[in-house]
Chain A
């Protein structure tokens, strides 16, 4: 048995790697720059502050803290022209723009010089002090100068981030007018000329052929993916993060709280509900399936089949909303409370799980969600149970049992039932992810403070680390569900070898 378990566990490793890879790919493709979002969450975002030195340093620190200054993966495939340290460029837009420039001209050193000259120009532009300028030359119109300076700054930032040809040309025209034609800022002229020169040399020194030769760069374990999964497990350096393998999913964009503190109790609620509903579904569907298989082709069987089929086709969000409409609506019947899972007034948090009073208080809140959770898997299970049972009943050993003169009850419940349980256990592996996935919709309908609602809110708030965390977690837990189903199967069916 142990050997079998270990074997199954080993078989899950590629799947776990695949899930983590998919989650990682999704997370790096999420729109926006993670550091910008994090600083926004910390509440120190401001238009003027964006360019200032301290904010930049803070961002650099954050970037280092979360390992965002590292290459993405253990290795990368790119072309010969591209620079293998490009990931060190901080700003996401600027990085993408640089990538594009390299792709266009195929000459990293020329692109680098052009980029540096632009940064130099930006630095000069930021160093200009209008106050002292106006003091020296009183004839200047302060507002006009200020506006010109801002225009220049805006266009330089645009040049750093923009790559559409027409837009870039337009920006150069504006800069030409502002810097060369008007003479407010003589100190900007020479750096600007350098920029123009470097831009010309870009197309002169273009080595486009380099982009056609592939190259593979190896980065080793100091990569974002490795940090994300394993954290500092293999590093002796300072701790950046612990890695999802030890439950560290980073911080939420919404309130920069660590995600792991936020999700564990939510996961608990959702999984309790899912498992409970699956249990109920099994309990109801077994007798129904057996009965209708026993009465095969009778009117009752046909009726049950039709009803089950209808239930199976009913979308759960529809059922949930209709239940709310009829049974938790002051206009119709207010039998059950509308949302939440506990009584906000009389609920005592110290109650233990099996405390009768607690159950009494929570039960009305759970009835409608549980019905919604249960009914679809229950219809599915009953149908499978029925088919399995019909197949078993036509087997030879059942005929033998009947021929022996055993009572019908004994034949069905002792000989047939055990064997017909096999397919229904395998189905657990299919139902479990279905239930977990469906929990998002059901929890949103009934406002259950579980994982689904949290994920829904995260989607509405563009809180990507949270979404990725839930995705990874659900993937891993589903894997555990599969493992449980496999083991159960091995326990029930002696034909499966443990070796």
Chain B
């Protein structure tokens, strides 16, 4: 971090503003009063803002101020959509960072801009992008779109906002005349049948775990649907409460299942490919950048690294296996904390061993040797590719507990090979370019050269591979749920809905609609991937 005379005032201003914002966010907005949380928020955001503000070089230019407000607001909204509760804090800071970056002059040629223009020419791909945005919105607002708890309801003089509150909330309503107390638990109550004075239902008044007892035997979308109103009369279902896409055998609404399934489909695609691209990009970058010959270290350091890794794994995983398994049996977050501690132990021990190699000055041990990192990664990719992926995933899920997290992790761990290959190829090309050579000759460390100079230019083709990967991850997850061996039974996904249709082939709506949902999502991702590949392919440039 460089703090000098010129940017001192900027940094002070920015940190004070962010501090105030973080305080406002934690105490007023989310009502968090615990000192630890407030201080974490404050420290984090002040640090970030100082980091960003120290790099502002362009604050005098006109666009900076105009884009700052815009980007702060967009950051807030996007942060709220992506990660409510914390995104609102991080989003504006990211917006601040983006607006602080020097804008490329409009007349200059930039590859990103060129690629984006190329992408925009493909109308189908553009529509796909909008559709993806719509899907994300649907997934984000699923509880407000399909929910059996109304958005707003007045019952016997009590005003409630059930859809916005925790579904286990219980409200006690006292009848003024008789003195009886009526208890309403939000998720159990059948709101449709209450004599509500005033009500706003969600567009689809059914949740995934709400079972309509009158229409519980595979009711088709155009069949007669029954409904008991609050007077106890059995009537034809009013359009408001019709199941527009039918129900399954238990009476759960299909449309609601599809909407909530969007969440899981997108989550599976994003998280599993996040894991895969993390592994793939790092391994591919190292393999491509260093090749078999360029990663040189003293022989003793190489051996010490290997010994350090051995000890690291021994103390990190062997010694702590019970701590990790106990953590995961308590809760996922507890387990992740233990797991992170183990990783830190491994890194620390390896680092200590590498440091200790400096003490040894034997001549033979000090000769430089090269580490064949490219061969190692390539063999790893070959081995993983030689096993049919779906079979591997099915086998592993068969011996594990059924859980969505495990499936996402497995898909991620088996899916990095394509990304690694693309990154490696791109790094092979980039490493001989002038700017990488320049950064090398300036004496920057390899890590800095890789992640700061080379990686941003290598990401474009990798992005295509990630987009294809998301499509195949969604496909794999829905295939597993279709077989009924993927997610637990109480999680509703598109695949599990289709599975219900396979069990009862007369219920065509349970086959067609989830299938179309899967198909559309996969097509969207494939379209975007295909169009961006065309846009990024330099051969089409002429």
Name A residues whose Cβ lies closer than 8 Å to a Cβ of B: 14-15, 18-19, 22-23, 26, 29-31, 77-79, 100, 103, 211-212, 214, 309-310, 312-315, 317-318, 321-322, 324-325, 329, 331, 433-434, 436-438, 440-441, 444-445, 455-456, 458-460, 464, 467-468, 470-471, 474-475, 478-479, 482
Whether A26 contacts B512 by the Cβ 8 Å rule is no
B522: nearest chain-A partner, CB-CB: A313
Roughly how many angstroms separate A48 CA and B389 CA in the complex, as a whole number? 44
Q: A103-B322, A318-B519, A440-B391 are in contact. List 8 more A-B contacts (CB 8 A).
A: A15-B383, A26-B396, A100-B322, A315-B518, A436-B388, A474-B388, A475-B391, A482-B386
CB proximity of A465 to chain B, nearest CB, Å: 12
Name B residues whose Cβ lies closer than 8 Å to a Cβ of A: 310-311, 314-315, 318-319, 322, 379, 382-383, 386-392, 394-396, 398-399, 471, 475, 478-479, 482-483, 485, 495, 498, 501-502, 505-506, 508, 511-512, 515, 518-519, 522-523, 526-527, 530
Q: A31-B399, A79-B318 are in contact. Are A438 and B383 (CB under 8 A)?
A: no
Roughly how many angstroms separate A29 CA and B508 CA in the complex, as a whole number? 40
Whether A317 contacts B479 by the Cβ 8 Å rule is yes
Whether A315 contacts B398 by the Cβ 8 Å rule is no
Whether A313 contacts B390 by the Cβ 8 Å rule is no
A474: nearest chain-B partner, CB-CB: B391
- Leading 6 A-B pairs by shortest Cβ distance: A437-B390, A318-B515, A433-B388, A437-B388, A313-B523, A18-B383
Q: Which of B310, B379, B395, B471 contacts A468 (CB 8 A)?
A: B395
Whether B379 contacts A14 by the Cβ 8 Å rule is yes
Task: Identify the interface centre among A78, A325, A458: most chain B CB within 10 Å of its CB.
Answer: A325
Chain A contacts for B471, CB-based, 8 A: 313
Secondary structure dominating the interface of A: helix
Roughly how many angstroms separate A460 CA and B479 CA in the complex, as a whole number? 16
Whether B389 contacts A437 by the Cβ 8 Å rule is yes
Roughly how many angstroms separate A14 CA and B398 CA in the complex, as a whole number? 26
A434: nearest chain-B partner, CB-CB: B388
Whether B501 contacts A212 by the Cβ 8 Å rule is no
Roughly how many angstroms separate A14 CA and B380 CA in the complex, as a whole number? 10
Whether A444 contacts B483 by the Cβ 8 Å rule is yes
Roughly how many angstroms separate A18 CA and B384 CA in the complex, as a whole number? 9
Chain B contacts for A474, CB-based, 8 A: 388, 391
Chain B contacts for A79, CB-based, 8 A: 314, 318-319
CB proximity of A489 to chain B, nearest CB, Å: 16
Whether B526 contacts A313 by the Cβ 8 Å rule is yes
CB proximity of B310 to chain A, nearest CB, Å: 8
Roughly how many angstroms separate A212 CA and B315 CA in the complex, as a whole number? 7
Whether B387 contacts A438 by the Cβ 8 Å rule is no
CB proximity of A333 to chain B, nearest CB, Å: 13
Q: Which of B386, B387, B511, B530 contacts A325 (CB 8 A)?
A: B511
Q: Which of B315, B318, B382, B391 contacts A471 (CB 8 A)?
A: B391
Roughly how many angstroms separate A23 CA and B511 CA in the complex, as a whole number? 35
B398: nearest chain-A partner, CB-CB: A459
Chain B contacts for A23, CB-based, 8 A: 395
Q: Which of B399, B501, B522 contacts A26 (CB 8 A)?
A: B399
6 A-B pairs in the complex with CB atoms less than 8 angstroms apart: A18-B386, A26-B395, A212-B319, A313-B519, A325-B511, A478-B387
Q: Which of A317, A458, A468, A475 contacts B388 (CB 8 A)?
A: A475
A214: nearest chain-B partner, CB-CB: B314
A318: nearest chain-B partner, CB-CB: B515
Q: Which of B318, B319, B390, B485 contacts A459 (CB 8 A)?
A: B485
Chain B contacts for A475, CB-based, 8 A: 386-388, 391
B471: nearest chain-A partner, CB-CB: A313
A328: nearest chain-B partner, CB-CB: B505
Whether B505 contacts A324 by the Cβ 8 Å rule is yes
Whether A478 contacts B315 by the Cβ 8 Å rule is no
CB proximity of A19 to chain B, nearest CB, Å: 6
Whether A441 contacts B314 by the Cβ 8 Å rule is no
Whether B318 contacts A77 by the Cβ 8 Å rule is yes
Whether B478 contacts A315 by the Cβ 8 Å rule is yes
Roughly how many angstroms separate A436 CA and B392 CA in the complex, as a whole number? 12
Q: Which of B319, B392, B399 contacts A211 (CB 8 A)?
A: B319
Whether A456 contacts B478 by the Cβ 8 Å rule is no
Chain B contacts for A458, CB-based, 8 A: 398
Q: Which of A22, A30, A312, A441 contacts B479 (CB 8 A)?
A: A441
Q: A315-B475, A322-B511 are in contact. Are A214 and B311 (CB under 8 A)?
A: yes
Roughly how many angstroms separate A440 CA and B485 CA in the complex, as a whole number? 12
Q: Which of B386, B479, B502, B512 contacts A19 (CB 8 A)?
A: B386
Whether B483 contacts A456 by the Cβ 8 Å rule is yes
Chain A contacts for B495, CB-based, 8 A: 317
Whether B526 contacts A309 by the Cβ 8 Å rule is yes
CB proximity of A29 to chain B, nearest CB, Å: 6
Whether A440 contacts B394 by the Cβ 8 Å rule is yes
Roughly how many angstroms separate A440 CA and B484 CA in the complex, as a whole number? 12
Roughly how many angstroms separate A15 CA and B501 CA in the complex, as a whole number? 40
Roughly how many angstroms separate A22 CA and B389 CA in the complex, as a whole number? 13
Roughly how many angstroms separate A14 CA and B375 CA in the complex, as a whole number? 13
Q: Which of A29, A329, A433, A437 contacts B399 (CB 8 A)?
A: A29
Q: Which of B387, B505, B518, B523 contacts A310 (CB 8 A)?
A: B523
CB proximity of B60 to chain A, nearest CB, Å: 49
